[in-house]
Structure 1
Amino acid sequence: MAIKPELQDKFNNQFEQPTPIQDAVWERFSTGENIFGLAPTGTGKTLAFILPMLSRIDVKVKRTQVLILAPSQELAMQTTAVAREWGALVGVSVASLIGGANGRRQSDKLKKEKPHIVIGTLGRVLTMVDGGALKLNGIQTVIFDEADAMLTEERHDSLQELADQLPETVQLGLFSATSGVDLKYVADTFHQEVRPISVGTDAPASIRHEFQYVDQKARANMLIQLARHDKQALVFFNTISGLVNMQATLRHAHVSVMSIGSNDKRQVQRADALRLFKKGEVTLLLVTDVAARGLDIEDLPLVVNAQLPQSKKIYVHRTGRTGRMGKPGRVLNLGNDHDIRDLKRELGDDFELIKAANAFADKKDALTKNKPSERERSNGNDREKTDTTLSVTQNTQNVTPKMKQKSTSEIIDKPKKKKRLKVSKDKGKPKWANKREN
C-alpha cells in the first residue's frame, strides 16, 4: 500500500477523494521514484509528498532521513505544521530550520533529538551542516517544494554544496505549479534522473480575474476602500520599496495592515503577521513574491496585484493563493491602461481579464459602480516608477488602531509631509550565521 493505514484513515475522514496530483504520485513516490510533480496551485501538492514520505520513514532509526527545502520562511513553517500534524500519527519527529529564528537553539535541538524530517530554507540548512549540527549521510529523500523557485542559477553554488554532502543514491521529489525547472541541470547536479508527472497547469475555473485602471493615488485609495468595505486581501508588490511606501500610506489612513517583506529577518514578526491575517484580525497583508510563495491561506477571498507581475509564471503563483481546492476566488489587477495591456499580452488566452465594475463588491453582488474617473484616465499613461531591487529591508508590522471614518478626499487629496522610514542596520551576526542566509 502506498500510504500507511493510519494516514489513509485520517485522509479519508477529511477528504472525499485524492486530488489528481495525489493520485498520480502517491504510489510512485512511496516506492522510491524520482519525480517532478506538476499541478495547479491549491490542488494538494503538500499532502502529495508528505503522506508517501511519512510512509517510507523507519521510525526506529534515530536519524534524519528526509530533507524538505522551501524558498521562503513562511512556506517552510507552513509545511512543518502539516508534517507534524500527520507525522504524529506514525511517530515521526519533525524539525524546522529557517533563518530569522534562534540558530543556537535549532542546533541544540538537532543534536539532541535527531529528527526524522528536517524542513527549512537552503541557507540555514547549509549553515547547520557546516556547523556539524545536521548530518546528511542518512538522508534518503530530498524534496524541493516550489521547485522552480528553488532550483535556480542564483542558488547554484549552494545547491552544488548540498549535492556534494548527500549520499550517492538519494530520492528526489520536485513539486511546483509551473514548470521552469531544468531537469538536465538537476540530473547533472544530483546525479539522479527525475521523471516529470504533470496533471495540468490550467488556471482554476473558480477564480474571477478582474482589472481596474488606476494611477498611483487611485491605487492607494482603492486599497483603503477595500479595507473599509471589510474586503480581506493579500496584496502583492514587485519591490520592497513599493510595499513600504504603500504600507506607510495605509497606516496613515488607519487601515488594518501588516506586511511580509522578502528580506526581513525578524521571523517572529513575520509569523505574527501571517497568523493574525489568517485569523481575520488584519484586513490587508502586503507581500512580495518571495515571501508569499506557496502560502496556503484557507478561504482567502481576494488577491490584489498592486504592482502587476512581469511574467505569467509569477501571475500563476500569486493568483493561486485564492480559489484553492476548487473554492471561489477573485483577483484584482491594478494598473494604468499601458500596464493592463502588457499584462493581457503576457497572459495570452490562458486567463480572461474582465473590467471590474465594482471593486468592492463580492462576486455575487451586482457589479454596477466604480468606473474610472476622467482624472484617472488622463493619468493612465504615467507609469509608476519602481525600484527593481529587493535589497531594502523594512517591515513595520504593528496592528493599527480601529479605522477612523474619514472621507476619501480627506485621505488622498490633502497634502501630507512624507515621512522618512528608518531602515534598521545589521548589527552583526552570531558565529553560526553566514551571508547566504540573507
Structure 2
Amino acid sequence: MTIKEELQDKFKTNFENPTPIQDAVWERFANGESIFGLAPTGTGKTLAFILPLLSRIDAHAKRTQVLILAPSQELAMQTTAVAREWGALVGVSVASLIGGANGRRQADKLKKEKPHIVIGTLGRVLTMVEGGVLKLNTIQTVVFDEADEMLTDERHESLQTLADQLPTSVQLGLFSATSGVDLKYVFDTFHQEVRLISVGTDAPATIKHEFQYVDQKAKSNILIQLARHNQQALVFFNTISALVSMQATLQHAHVSVMSIGSNDKRQVQRADALRLFKKGEVALLLVTDVAARGLDIEDLPLVINAQIPQSKKTYVHRTGRTGRMGKAGQVLNLGNDHDIRNLKRELGDDFELSKVANLYADEVKQHNNVEKNTVSDSNHSQNNETDVATKKISERRVSKPQTTKIASTHVADVVDKPKKKKRLKSSKDKGKPKWATKRENK
C-alpha cells in the first residue's frame, strides 16, 4: 500500500521532497507494520504517521479506527489540526479528546459522529472509555506521539487499562526525537513487536546555541529588554512556581507575556495563549516542558532556557522548537557559572555552546539604576510623610491591589487565582455523566 494520490498531490504542492523519517516509515507504516520512528525534532514526524494512517482508513465505515495519544493538550490540538486538514481530502473525520475542554460535548460528538480518528490525552481518552462512550474494539492502529514521554513508569497502570481494551492485533506507531522507550515493556503490554527505524538524533546544524552568565535579577531584565526590542521567544522553566513568579515580574514591567505552563488553566486559556503567540501578538510565551512537548511554532526565532534543563534529553526537546525543517534558530541559556558548567558537562560534545556578547548590557544596567533610584526616592518620600490622610490613602492602596495592564497587546492576565472548592449539592450530582472522573488529570 502507498500514500493515497490525493495526499501525495497536496504533499508535493507544499514540500519539495519527503524528509528522511517520512521516506523511511511511510511504506512500512502504511502496510500495517508496528514501528518506532526516531528522528530529530522538527523533521516532519507528524506527517510521517498521519499520511500512512489516512491511506489505511476505510472512510466509508462509520467507526473509530485510529487512536493517537499525546502527552499534552497543546500537542493533541496541534496534531488534530494537521489530521483534519489532510483528512478532509480523503473523507476522514477527526475528533479531539483533551482535558480542560467540555467533556459532555466531546462525548456527544463521539456518539453521533463515530469519528475515524480520535486524538487526545491518555487521561481523557480513558475517561471516555470507562464511561462507555468510546469503544476501542474497532481500533486498528494506536500512535504514541512523543513516545518517550508517553510510555513512562508513571503511566504504566493507565497504559495497561488501555491495552486491555484494544484488539490483540492492533498496530503500534511510536514516534519521538529521543529514545528512552523500553520496547520489551511495549511488547509485554500490547503484545506487538515494534521495529526501530532511526534516521539519527543529531541536533540540527542550523541552530545556534549560546549562553549568558546572569543572576536572577539580570535574568528578568534581559527578558524585559528582549520583549521591548520586539524579540519573540519561547521561554522555558523547570517549575510552575518559577514561571508564575517571572510572569508577574514581566507583567509589572508591562511586557507582552502569556503562559501555558499550568495544567490548572482552562483549555481555552491555554489555546488562546498559544494562538496569540503564533500570530505574533505576544512577545514572550512562558512554558514548562510538558506543556511545550512537540509544539510546532512556525519560524520561531528564539528559545530561552530561563531555567537550565537537568538532562540532555530535555534540552533536545526544548531547543527543537526552533530551527525546524532546516530553518535557522537560536537558543539562549541563562544561568550562573554553576548552571552553565553543569549544562556543558551534560551535553558533552554533541552541542557547541558559545558565550553571547553582553546582551543588552547597557540597557539592563540602566534599567537596574532606574529601579534603584526609584526605590531610593520612594523611601525618602515615605520617611518624610507626615500627613495622616496621605497615610490612609497609602494603606487603602496596599489593601486593594491594582491590576497591571499588558502594554500594546491588551492580552488578559493568565495567572489564575486559586479557585475555591465548592461543595456540590446532591441535586447537581444527579445525572452526572459517568465519564467525569479524576483520571483525566493524570
> Which band: TM-score by shorter chain?
0.7 to 0.9
Corresponding residue for residue 291 of structure 2: 291
Deviations 1:123-158 (A, max 9, x none): 000000011111101000000000000000000110
One-letter amino acid matched to 2:419:
S
Query: What TM-score do the two structures reach when normalised by structure 2?
Result: 0.87
Bigger proportion of residues as helix? 2
Separation in structure 2 between the aligned mates of residue 123 and residue 414 of structure 1, nearest angstrom = 50
* CA positional deviation for 1:121: 0.1
Corresponding residue for residue 92 of structure 2: 92
Aligned counterpart for 2:369 among listed residues 406, 409, 425 = 409
* CA positional deviation for 1:60: 1.0
Corresponding residue for residue 320 of structure 2: 320
Corresponding residue for residue 45 of structure 2: 45
SS at match of 2:92: coil
| Map 1:120-199 → 2, pairs under 5 A | 120-199=120-199
The structure that has the greater radius of gyration is: 2
Corresponding residue for residue 405 of structure 2: none
One-letter amino acid matched to 1:433:
A
Q: Within the alignment, does 1:423 sit opposite 2:426 as a pair?
A: no
Distance 1:181 1:262, change over 3 A: farther
Q: Within the alignment, does 1:329 sit opposite 2:329 as a pair?
A: yes
* CA positional deviation for 1:175: 0.1
Deviant stretches of 4+, over 3 Å:
369-373, 406-422, 425-431
Corresponding residue for residue 344 of structure 1: 344
* CA positional deviation for 1:262: 4.0
One-letter amino acid matched to 1:132:
G
SS at match of 2:338: helix
Distance 1:414 1:261, change over 3 A: farther
* CA positional deviation for 1:433: 2.2
Corresponding residue for residue 433 of structure 1: 436
Contact kept, 8 Å, 2:225 with 2:364, in 1: the verdict is no
Corresponding residue for residue 215 of structure 1: 215
One-letter amino acid matched to 2:47:
L
SS at match of 1:350: coil
* CA positional deviation for 1:27: 0.3
SS at match of 1:134: coil
Contact kept, 8 Å, 2:265 with 2:416, in 1: the verdict is no
Distance 1:370 1:296, change over 3 A: farther
SS at match of 1:124: helix
Contact kept, 8 Å, 1:299 with 1:324, in 2: the verdict is yes
Distance 1:341 1:267, change over 3 A: same
* CA positional deviation for 1:2: 1.6
Over the aligned positions, Cα root-mean-square deviation in angstroms equals 2.1
Contact kept, 8 Å, 2:78 with 2:295, in 1: the verdict is yes
One-letter amino acid matched to 1:424:
K
Distance 1:356 1:163, change over 3 A: same
SS at match of 2:348: helix
* CA positional deviation for 1:426: 5.0
Residue segments in structure 1 that go unaligned for 5+ positions in a row: 361-368, 374-405
Separation in structure 2 between the aligned mates of residue 437 and residue 336 of structure 1, nearest angstrom = 38
* CA positional deviation for 1:265: 3.9
Corresponding residue for residue 247 of structure 2: 247
SS at match of 1:172: strand
Separation in structure 1 between the aligned mates of residue 372 and residue 33 of structure 2, nearest angstrom = 57
Query: What TM-score do the two structures reach when normalised by structure 1?
Result: 0.87
Q: Within the alignment, does 1:233 sit opposite 2:263 as a pair?
A: no
SS at match of 2:203: coil
* CA positional deviation for 1:260: 0.5
Contact kept, 8 Å, 1:42 with 1:296, in 2: the verdict is yes
* CA positional deviation for 1:425: 4.2
Tell me the number of residue pairs that the alignment of Structure 1 and Structure 2 aligns. Answer: 398
Contact kept, 8 Å, 2:136 with 2:166, in 1: the verdict is yes
Deviations 1:150-187 (A, max 9, x none): 00000011000000000010000000000010000100
One-letter amino acid matched to 1:85:
E
Separation in structure 1 between the aligned mates of residue 123 and residue 158 of structure 2, nearest angstrom = 8
Distance 1:423 1:3, change over 3 A: same
Deviations 1:24-72 (A, max 9, x none): 0000000000000000000000000000000000011100000000000
Residue segments in structure 2 that go unaligned for 5+ positions in a row: 379-397, 402-414, 425-431
| Map 1:76-115 → 2, pairs under 5 A | 76-115=76-115
Corresponding residue for residue 4 of structure 2: 4
Distance 1:428 1:129, change over 3 A: farther
